[in-house]
Amino acid sequence: MRIAITRDISPAMNHCELTHLARQPIDLDRARAQHAGYERCLRALGCEIRRLAAAPDLPDCVFVEDGAIVLDEVAVIARPGAASRRAETAAIEEALGALRRLVRIRPPATLDGGDVLRVGRTLFVGLSSRTNADAIEQLRAMAGPLAYSVVGVQVRGCLHLKSAATEVAPGTLLVNREWIPADPVGTFDLIDVDPREPFAANALRLGDAVVYSSAFPRTRERLEARGVIVYPVDVSELAKAEGAVTCCSLIVEPQLRAGK
């Protein structure tokens, strides 16, 4: 069974990191209810949820995606670009250690999992305010021998590469072209976000469906017109912390569990 690692919302979430948004109060009860709805959706799509306990001193701990990159063969423990987030990886490391061989990004590299977009055997890595060129080199050294190619993509105007591009069907990317250059993704089928919904490029693909924020109905129409099955979730409180749907889980595919 596919496993989704999630993590409870921190009571300190109102002190989260913010880069592109102004701070607005987050209603923690509402955020928890939305997060539970997100987990229900993942369960309905066949995931076993393994929820880690919240850390009261780690405001952004719900955004587990940034703590690791889970490949078929190995899990890469990230080194988040925001110093306030570095301690998040300990619990993630413990959870993933049971499921994959672990390797670690080391200083001076910084890398947020939200900057790594896997499409087939290519790992696109956003060069962002969180992820640096050292991380790309280290990832290439780790993943190259496993037959992944690692391609750096300059990200501008958004937090992570996966704010600007995610895969919604095999070889089809949902993109906001304002935030990434055309070249690296040019060979794929592209679906553009509706220009009135710049934050709409983040979708979590699970098999034939995507989990998708209900805040983007116009882009949702574009997805459905292209045959993508959309499971909408309300994540408006998490969005106030610059979180989106991919960031709230680490998906561990089942096939290689025995080969750990």
Q: Which of 108, 129, 174 is nearest to 20 (CA)?
A: 129
Instruction: Provide the minimum distance between the beta carbon of 17 and ligand CIR in the complex, in angstroms, as a whole number.
Output: 3
Question: Contact with ligand CIR (CB under 6 A): which of 17, 39, 88, 167?
Answer: 17
Burial 57-67 (b: 16+ CB within 10 A, else e): ebbbbbbbbbb
Establish if 167 lies at the interface with ligand CIR (CB under 6 A): no
- For the CB of residue 235, give the shortest distance to ligand CIR in the complex, in Å: 11
Question: From the list 3, 247, 250, 252, which residue makes contact with ligand CIR (rule: CB under 6 A)?
Answer: 247
Residue 160 binding ligand CIR, by CB under 6 A: yes
| Residues with catalytic function | 160, 247
Q: What is the DSSP string of 85-131?
A: GGGGHHHHHHHHHTTSEEEE--TT--B-GGGEEEETTEEEEEESSS-
Out of 241, 249, 250, 252, point to the residue binding ligand CIR (CB under 6 A). 241
Query: Closest CB to ligand CIR among 60 and 167?
Result: 60
Residue 155 binds ligand CIR (CB under 6 A): no
State which residue, 1 or 109, has the beta carbon closest to ligand CIR. Answer: 109
**Residue choice 19, 149, 154, 214 for contact with ligand CIR (CB under 6 A):** 19
Cα 21 to Cα 18, 24, 154, distances in angstroms: 6, 9, 20
Cβ neighbors of 102 (< 8 A, separation 6 or more) are: 74, 75, 76, 77, 93, 96
Cα radius of gyration rounded to whole Å, the chain: 17
177 by Cβ neighbours in 10 Å (0-12 / 13-18 / 19+) ranks as middle
Q: Does 65 bind ligand CIR (CB under 6 A)?
A: yes
> Binding ligand CIR by CB under 6 A: which of 16, 41, 71, 150?
16
Q: Which residues bind ligand CIR (CB under 6 A)?
A: 16-17, 19, 60, 63, 65-66, 82, 85, 114, 159-160, 241-244, 247
